[in-house]
């Protein structure tokens, strides 16, 4: 199994070369927009698009042969993605350019990259730390993406291909319950409290609200300064969230590796849309919407592939309402044995932390998914259904 990792590397750009980078970014985005507007919107096949506009793209935008092909490939890829989502591709911003082995090269001896730009080839020094050096050492990357960030800095996102470790066969499953009050709770008892994080995010929100008022009502210089601070604040908040998700996901994967176990998580696809339909205060809506559950799940997935740990996604229905000891849920529709952070089962008397209970239920459901031919869950389900006389229990499995 092949795994692709992207290493973000800042590049040192001299004032003389910066205009060439800007010209390349602009020409690439203009070429993509031209291709998208010229070719039939229903056409997504790259070779067919290339046959229709390749010569015109090269002549009009001054791109090299491979940059023109990369622009065509970008439009084709974006159209395929948009088609799946049901949204048309509208325009392309001058913020990134795709590169392949013919127009990109990495040299380890002096830690530089060379890129084909409008007007010729240029070599750039990488301004990277030990983490990037460790990933790139001995690598032979063949593709990259040139990116311009909001602060005006330039990065080359280098794609590294490597053989992933084969998943470790195991019957043991660690359940992971994701939430906002507690970001993650595992069935082993590991817990990452979200209170301090919520306080930090609330502070960001208060500062952002104050700056937004100044950006709309202050003097001209005040408005400009407020917008600059808002942009910097957004970057800090995003980096903080990414850093935290990286640390939590790595600790969970290493724990699974240590215990030779599989990780089971809830499939939270569409959770934002579902929770936003519920009546909540503006503050609670903001707190729920700002946390990146998908990012944490994505980090878990790719780190698990790296270490040979399997990850399974389970149906989240009733995982927070089911008792992990007797698999019983409240027989009355609309009621639950969970109350805030406490879970107290009315069937067997189990009393525990609600999120820990949820993680253990996820572990049980994950085991039923992982083990072919049935599990202890499937054996107990019939008894639980008879005990509660509630067909809703079927959803748990």
DSSP tag of 278? S
Residue 353: half-sphere exposure toward Cβ, Cα within 13 Å: 16
**Cβ 320 vs Cβ 338: under 8 Å:** yes
Q: Are residues 210 and 88 in the same domain?
A: no
Last residue of a domain, one of 136, 163, 190: 163
Residue pair 158/9 in contact by the 8 Å Cβ criterion: yes
pLDDT of residue 86: 82
Q: Are residues 93 and 180 in the same domain?
A: no
Instruction: Give φ, ψ of 255 to 5 degrees.
Output: -65, -40
DSSP string, 358-373: HHHHHHHHHHHHHSTT
The average confidence (pLDDT) of the chain is 83
Token pair in block for residue 344: 């107290």
- Element containing residue 299 per DSSP (H, E): helix 293-307
Residues 158 and 237 in one domain: no
User: Over pLDDT 90: what percentage of the chain?
Assistant: 41
The per-residue pLDDT for 280 is 58
pLDDT average, residue stretch 234-257: 86
Region 166-170: mean pLDDT is 76
Pick from 359, 394, 361: nearest CA to 378: 394
More confident residue, 217 or 145: 145
Write down which residue in 128, 163, 198 finishes a domain.
Answer: 163
Residue 291 and residue 195 share a domain: yes
11/156 same-domain check: yes
Sign of CA dihedral 260, 248, 298, 133: negative
- What confidence tier does 84 reach under pLDDT thresholds 50, 70, 90? confident
Residue at 73 is within a domain:
yes
For the cut 80, the answer to whether the pLDDT of residue 332 exceeds it is yes
**391-395 contact pairs (CB < 8 A, 24+):** 392/318, 392/329, 392/333, 393/318, 393/322, 393/327, 393/329, 395/315, 395/317, 395/318
Token couple for 221: 């210089």
Give a yes or no: residue 148 inside a domain: yes
For the chain, the distance separating the N- and C-terminal CA atoms, rounded to the nearest angstrom, is 30
pLDDT for 396 equals 33
Residues 244 and 349 in one domain: no
Whole-number pLDDT of residue 1: 62
Q: Is residue 27 very low, low, confident or very high in pLDDT (cuts 50, 70, 90)?
A: very high
pLDDT at 346 over 80: yes
Based on the fold, state whether residues 157 and 217 are members of the same structural domain.
no
C-alpha dihedral (350, 356, 357, 358), degrees to nearest 10: 170
CA geometry: angle at 201 spanning 196 and 205, to 5°?
A: 145
Q: Is residue 328 part of a domain?
A: no
Q: Dmax of the chain from CA atoms?
A: 77
pLDDT band at 202 (very low <50, low <70, confident <90, very high): confident
86 within some domain: yes
Domain membership of residue 368 (yes or no) is yes
95 vs 287 pLDDT, higher one: 95
Q: What mean pLDDT comes out for the span 311-335? A: 85
Q: Do 156 and 180 share a domain, yes or no?
A: no
Query: Which residue, 132, 163, 194, sits at the end of a domain?
Result: 163
Average pLDDT over residues 354-375: 78
| Among the ranges given (12-21, 116-125, 376-385), the one the predictor scored with the smallest mean pLDDT | 376-385
195 and 251 assigned to the same domain: yes
Does the pLDDT at position 113 exceed 80? yes
Asked whether residue 250 is domain-assigned, the answer is yes
238 shares a domain with 134: no
Domain that holds residue 54: 2-163
In a domain, 330, yes or no: no
Burial 296-305 (b: 16+ CB within 10 A, else e): bbebbbbbbb
Structure tokens at 204: 């960001």
Is 371 within the bounds of a domain? yes
- Phi and psi at residue 140, in whole multiples of 5°? -130, 70
Report the pLDDT value the prediction gives residue 379, as an integer from 0 to 100.
Answer: 37
Same domain, 392 and 275: no
Q: How many structural domains compose the chain?
A: 3
User: Do 382 and 296 reside in the same domain of the chain?
Assistant: no
Q: Is 339 helix (H, G, I), strand (E, B) or coil?
A: strand
């Amino acid at each position: 199994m092949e795994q692709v990792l992207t290493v973000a590397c800042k590049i040192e750009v001299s004032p003389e070369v910066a205009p060439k980078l800007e010209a390349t970014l602009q020409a690439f985005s203009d070429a993509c927009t031209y291709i998208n507007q010229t070719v039939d919107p229903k056409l997504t096949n790259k070779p067919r698009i290339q046959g229709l506009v390749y010569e015109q793209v090269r002549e009009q935008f001054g791109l090299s042969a491979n940059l023109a092909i990369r622009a065509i490939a970008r439009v084709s890829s974006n159209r395929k993605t948009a088609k799946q989502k049901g949204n048309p591709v509208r325009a392309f911003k001058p913020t990134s350019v795709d590169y392949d082995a013919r127009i990109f090269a990495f040299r380890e001896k002096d830690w530089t990259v060379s890129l084909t730009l409008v007007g010729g080839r240029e070599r750039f020094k990488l301004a990277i730390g030990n983490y990037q050096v460790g990933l790139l050492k001995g690598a032979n990357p063949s593709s990259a993406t040139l990116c311009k960030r909001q602060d005006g800095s330039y990065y080359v996102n280098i794609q590294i291909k490597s053989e992933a470790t084969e998943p470790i066969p195991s019957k043991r499953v660690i359940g992971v319950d994701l939430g906002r009050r507690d970001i993650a709770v595992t069935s082993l008892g590991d817990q990452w409290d979200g209170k301090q994080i919520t306080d930090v995010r609330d502070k960001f929100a208060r500062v952002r609200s104050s700056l937004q008022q100044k950006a709309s009502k202050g003097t001209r210089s005040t408005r400009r300064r407020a917008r600059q601070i808002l942009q910097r604040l957004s970057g800090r908040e995003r980096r903080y969230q990414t850093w935290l998700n990286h640390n939590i996901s790595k600790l969970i994967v290493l724990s699974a590796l240590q215990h030779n176990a599989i990780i089971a998580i809830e499939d939270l696809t569409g959770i934002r849309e579902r929770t936003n339909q519920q009546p909540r205060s503006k503050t609670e809506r903001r707190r729920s919407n700002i946390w990146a559950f998908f990012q944490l799940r994505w980090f878990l997935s790719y780190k698990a592939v790296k270490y040979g740990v399997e990850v399974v996604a389970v149906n989240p229905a009733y995982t927070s309402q089911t008792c992990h000891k007797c698999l019983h849920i409240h027989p009355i529709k609309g009621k639950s044995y969970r109350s805030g952070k406490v879970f107290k089962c009315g069937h067997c008397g189990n009393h525990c932390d609600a999120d820990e209970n949820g993680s253990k239920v996820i572990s049980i459901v994950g085991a039923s998914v992982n083990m072919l031919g049935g599990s202890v869950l499937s054996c107990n389900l019939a008894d639980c259904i008879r005990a509660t006389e509630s067909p809703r229990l079927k959803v748990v499995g």
